[in-house]
Amino acid sequence: MSAEDLESYEADAELSLYREYRDVVNLFGYVVETERRFYLANQVDLQVRSAGGEVFFEVKMADAWVWDVYRSARFVRSVRVVTFKDVNIEELAKPDINLP
């Protein structure tokens, strides 16, 4: 496989992932960003923890979708993420009217 073929494959995979995101985003209530991943979820619980003088974040999500081009199953029942970096959680606005 040439470098050009690999770039084309990766571009197609990213475009497919974006299209999937666009199709499912309205099913979720929250967007969660960590330093490694981007999630959509319907339930989010953020806990700030400390151990040995270090502060870290534990994020538990239920009914989630994971932005990961290499993951075959992006819908997951529950996710637990532990990170030492900041976590960004945003509540998604629900439209008043859903048009077909």
Q: What integer pLDDT is reported at residue 99 of this predicted model?
A: 54
Residues 14-65: pLDDT tens digits? 899 999 999 999 999 999 999 889 999 999 999 999 989 999 999 999 999 9
Neighbours of 76 (CB within 10 A): 15
- In the predicted structure, residue 73 carries a pLDDT above the cut 80: yes
Instruction: Identify the band that residue 83 occupies on the pLDDT scale cut at 50, 70 and 90.
Output: very high
Residue 42 is which amino acid? N
Q: Which of 30, 41, 33, 31 is nearest to 85 (CA)?
A: 33
- How far is C-alpha 1 from the chain's CA centre? 30
Q: What integer pLDDT is reported at residue 79 of this predicted model?
A: 94
Q: Which pTM does this prediction carry?
A: 0.82
CA dist 90 to 56, 62, 86, Å? 19, 15, 13
